[in-house]
Structure 1
Amino acid sequence: MTYAITQTCCTDATCIAACPVNCIHPTPEEKDFGRTEMLFIDPKACIDCGACADACPVDAILPVESLTGAQKEYGAVNAAYFEDREPEPAVDGPNFHAWSEPVFERSLPSDFAPLRIAVVGTGPAGMYAVEDLLLHTGAEVTLVDRLPVAGGLIRYGVAPDHPSTKKAGDAFARFHTHPRVRMFLGLDVGTDITPEELAAHHDAVVYAVGAGADRRLGIPGEDLPGSISATTFVSWYNAHPEVAPDAVGLSTERVVVVGNGNVAVDTARILVSDPDTLAAGDIAAHALDALRSGGVREVVLLGRRGPAEAAYTRPELLALKHLPGVELVVDDHDPRTGAAIDAAGPGDKAAVLRGVTRAKVDWSLAPAAGRRIVIRFHSAPVEVLGDDGVRAVRVTGGAG
């Protein structure tokens, strides 16, 4: 039986190196590498050896015959990538010089003292830098993170119902105790130590840290109680030490999420998922209690562009279609939405929405019975309404 790559693909190419027959694409040598949402296994070339599954750090590779539920579609997703696809041009062709691959030497002669490199940030970016330094140079590495627990976005940014994705942190953790690594947690560069002090004791400093502030909407009312950033919400359900357990209130029936990226999809999914299912992951206890006692039954995803331009990936959208006990609805308020879905090609994100209920939602009514996620395209927030808290959101393309 052939293998397929599923939703939790981390695209770090470990599986490509393990495959003995080069059936996983795009490879780092191909122009599409880093541009696709995930990697794909060619079912015609796969020899069913399972080497890729053993190498995958996030358990995203499974036999096609064993796929169940929402994962069943990934057999077709993998196969569709290779339909009518021309093979990559060979390097030694009539339009290329027959030169060998360039070699970039990253190690120093043995008579030089080893480099001392500081890496600020223990998330994926920082740890990939550390991995390269340890594998290809003799550098001594100082790891610094302002939080008391290492991991960065792997620890505090991945949704708790994606435990396989978080397993990537296990691969990084092996470098924390490497003999050429020193790690300092709870050390804030800029507060506990200055950048100049850090640089004075190292040959180079790599800053692998994320954005230090949330992105503002710039609309009236966004500072009302009940209006929070996605950063706060994600940190709240992941028990980030800088976000209080009572930072999020879930007493309302309807929540509006601005954006159509993967974080927006994560937010919507967590809000309407069965708490008993979430309890099997590593969600914060205070978040689980709030979800159990809260009243959220409907989440509205606002996207200012259409379904063809949405920022979420196909795997995350596919997961929404198969969320147990949750109806997925597309607000059909704008004719461009349905037209884009109907015209989408097989590999387009918009095509995933075929078969999803389309309806013109009356927002003056309370949410319908049950739980649902409504995607409203061609809408952007222009004002948050309310006195002592959020009461409604006015959006483009009709009343919100």
Structure 2
Amino acid sequence: SNVACIRSLYSAGVIGRGASSSPSPSKICVIGSGPAGFYTAQHLLKARQDIVVDIYERLPVPFGLVRFGVAPDHPEVKNVINTFTQTANHPRCHFYGNVNVGKDVSVSELQQAYHGVVLSYGAEANRSMGVQGEDLAGVYSAKDFVGWYNGLPSCRELTPDLSCDTAVILGQGNVALDVARVLLAPLSILKKTDITQPAVEALVHSQVRRVLIIGRRGPTQIACTIKELREMVNLPGTRPEMKAADFAEVSEALKDVPRPRKRLTELLLKTALEVPGEKEQERRNKATRTWGFRFYRSPIEVFADAEGKKISGIRLAVNKLEGSGEGAQAVLTGEVEEVSCGLVISSIGYKSLPIDPSVPFDPCKAIVPNTLGRVQQAKGLYCSGWLKTGPTGVIATTMNNSFDTARSVVEDLNSGTLDVSTEKPGSQSICALLEQRRVKPVSFSDWEKINTEETRRGEAVGKPREKLLSVEEMLRVARA
């Protein structure tokens, strides 16, 4: 009954032509359609002509964090979607959206149907701060806040209260800076992006005028890239506010750091300490909003207002560093300070979750234990992306690590470690199971209907797209 299933059976040679006319294909399935999943699939399809790849995705829409994690004002980063679309349209590749692996179908059922299974489902949970008051209204994880303004269905109900003057972001990576930019950027910029309409409406009424971006270590350990810092420095309508004391001895330390880190730190120093030129001073004088990094600070408690319902501030421990460079450790000094704020966003990292009891999982590192992408003690099972490495790096990092996993799969096919002598049913048996369980997969051409509708809605309001925000609406459009 499912068009996607029939198409995949045809291209795999199961129906439509004599199945015996060519050697049976090596069937690999990939779980997760974010960058890791697509890059793994791309490399597998290129490496051998007999590989058929099926990609399973929990949501009806593909692309994972490229769709739901990249900042709306960074459309150029989303250009990789063109490459992923080519992969999805490859005759030996098939996409099955709206299939929740671990719930609709188990990993062991996929292992029975395929020669190899690659787990690429990323990191969807938040790392907890582990401090008192983090459950209060007004405290959000960056992952959920980003999901809210980027249209992730599970974050649709978020209604962040932006009626305060000061927001505190914990963490100083690129995601922290994305959130700071979205909170402070002129609406004229954001309205031309694919940010969701509810986020635009909330930002229209936002009272946030000051954003503090807090890190437990110092300026030479900051986790963002120079590109993101430069965008922050040049953000229209804003000016930086830093504490000169945070930069003591930083110039000294610069002599021994690698060049990218040196350039980043020099820009920080210039922004924080140098007297700006006339033009820049004029720009800063006109600014109505401020932002600043605060270093050597760790959260110890978020505290509430008199009614005990909403947050009114955050208590920070003051740290000093032991050691230097990347390996420097933040050590408590015993001093504390308080910052009044009405919004706290924790950007201290994403975390992978176990998908199925049958799959090995390291709860401390929150990864699937693996060697070059081969899951330990689980023949025929592989992993790529953040599930393999932890949540580090940019899309290019994920690309390289996914190619490495794909190479491990190909090596195992070539060496016979992966036994492909027996034919496997692949999507044929999985589609039959899903039908029994009343799960209707979304094909890539179904996704293209969603894509067309989102683009149409976007054009009507001068945006690249207006995302559908619920799974129900996505499915309605896909099946229209």
User: Is it true that 1:338 corresponds to 2:253 in the alignment?
Assistant: no
Mean Cα displacement is larger for which, 213-222 or 341-350? Answer: 341-350
Q: Residue by residue, what CA displacement relative to the aligned partner does 1:188-221 show, whole Å, maximum 9, x if unpaired?
A: 1011111111111111110111123210000100
Unaligned ranges ≥5, structure 2: 1-20, 275-285, 319-335, 340-480
Q: CA deviation at 1:170?
A: 1.5
Name 1:124's counterpart in structure 2.
35
For residue 26 of structure 2, what is the aligned residue in structure 1?
115
In structure 2, what residue type is equivalent to 1:354?
A: L
2:159 aligned with 1:281: no
Alpha-carbon deviation of 1:111? 6.4
**Partner of residue 124, structure 2:** 212
C-alpha root-mean-square deviation of aligned residues, in Å?
Answer: 2.0
| Secondary structure of residue in 2 paired with 1:312 | coil
Tell me how far 1:249 sits from its aligned partner.
2.1
- Matched AA of 1:291: L
In the alignment, which of 311, 314, 336 is matched to residue 393 of structure 1?
314
1:379 aligns with 2:294: no
Are 2:134 and 2:302, in contact at CA under 8 Å, matched by a contact in 1? Answer: yes
Aligned to 1:257: 169
- How many residues were matched structurally? 281
Matches within 5 A, 1:7-46: none
CA positional deviation for 1:333: 4.5
Measured in 1, the distance between the counterparts of 2:183 and 2:176 equals: 11
Matches within 5 A, 1:5-84: none
- How far off is 1:183 after superposition? 0.8
* Residue of structure 1 in register with 2:55 after alignment: 143
- Alpha-carbon contact 2:33-2:55 (below 8 Å) kept: yes
Shift in alpha-carbon separation, 1:213–1:254, aligned structure 2, 3 A: same
The change in CA–CA distance for 1:276 and 1:322 in structure 2 (over 3 A counts) is: same
* 1:358 CA displacement: 4.9
In structure 2, distance between residues paired with 1:338 and 1:139: 57
Is contact 1:160–1:282 with CA below 8 Å preserved after alignment?
yes
Letter in 2 for 1:271: L
Q: Could you state the TM-score of these two structures normalised by the residue count of structure 2?
A: 0.56
SS of equivalent to 1:308: helix
Closer/same/farther in 2, CA of residues 341 and 356 from structure 1, 3 Å limit: farther
Aligned partner of 1:356 in structure 2 is 271
Residue 303 of structure 1 corresponds to which residue in structure 2?
215
Q: After the TM superposition, which parts of structure 1 deviate over 4 Å for at least 4 consecutive aligned residues? A: none
For CA contacts below 8 A with separation 6 or more, give which structure has more relative contact order.
2
Residue in 2 that maps onto 1:35: none
| SS of residue paired to 1:330 | coil
Report the alpha carbon displacement of residue 314 of structure 1 after superposing the two structures with TM.
1.3
Distance 1:228 1:341 in 2: 35
TM-score (norm 1): 0.67
Code of the aligned partner of 1:392: G
Distance 2:160 2:111 in 1: 39
Which of 267, 272, 278 pairs up with 2:184? Answer: 272
CA distance in 2 between partners of 1:111 and 1:200 (Å): 22
Partner of 1:49: none
- Counterpart CA distance in 1 for 2:212 and 2:289 is 11
3-state SS in 2 of match to 1:216: coil
- Contact 1:329/1:358 (8 A) holds in 2: no
Gaps of at least 5 residues in structure 1 are 1-109, 360-367
Asked whether the equivalents of residues 151 and 169 of structure 1 are also in contact (C-alpha less than 8 Å), the reply is: yes
- Contact kept in structure 2, 1:341 and 1:353, CA below 8 Å: no
SS of aligned partner of 2:194:
coil
The match for 1:185 among 83, 93, 97 is 97
Structure 1 CA distance for aligned equivalents of residues 105 and 69 of structure 2: 26
The corresponding residue for 1:39 is none
Secondary structure of 2:212's aligned partner: strand
| Cα deviation, residue 176, structure 1 | 1.2
> Per-residue deviation at 1:147?
1.1
* Partner in structure 2 of residue 48 of structure 1: none
Aligned residue type for 2:248: G
Match of 1:324 among 231, 236, 257: 236
Which residue of the partner structure matches residue 18 of structure 1? none
Structure 1 residues 233-272: Cα deviation after superposition (integer angstroms, max 9, x where no partner): 1100101111124432211111100001111111111110
Q: 1:279 to 1:209 in 2, by over 3 A?
A: same
- The answer to whether the 8 Å contact 1:245/1:287 transfers is no
Structure (1 or 2) with the greater helix fraction: 2
Equivalence for 1:239: 151
Is 1:155 equivalent to 2:70 in the alignment? no
Rounded Cα–Cα distance in structure 2 between residues aligned with 1:247 and 1:197: 39
CA distance in 1, matches of 2:47, 2:71: 33
Aligned-partner Cα distance in 2 for 1:149–1:176: 12
Q: Does 1:223 align with 2:135?
A: yes
Distance in 1 between the 2:236 and 2:217 partners?
Answer: 28
Please state whether the residue corresponding to 1:133 is helix, strand or coil. Answer: helix
CA distance in 2, matches of 1:114, 1:271: 50
8 Å Cα contact 1:236/1:248 also seen in 2: no
User: Secondary structure of the equivalent of 1:122?
Assistant: coil
**Shift, 1:332, TM fit:** 3.2
Q: Distance in 2 between matches of 1:323 and 1:200?
A: 53
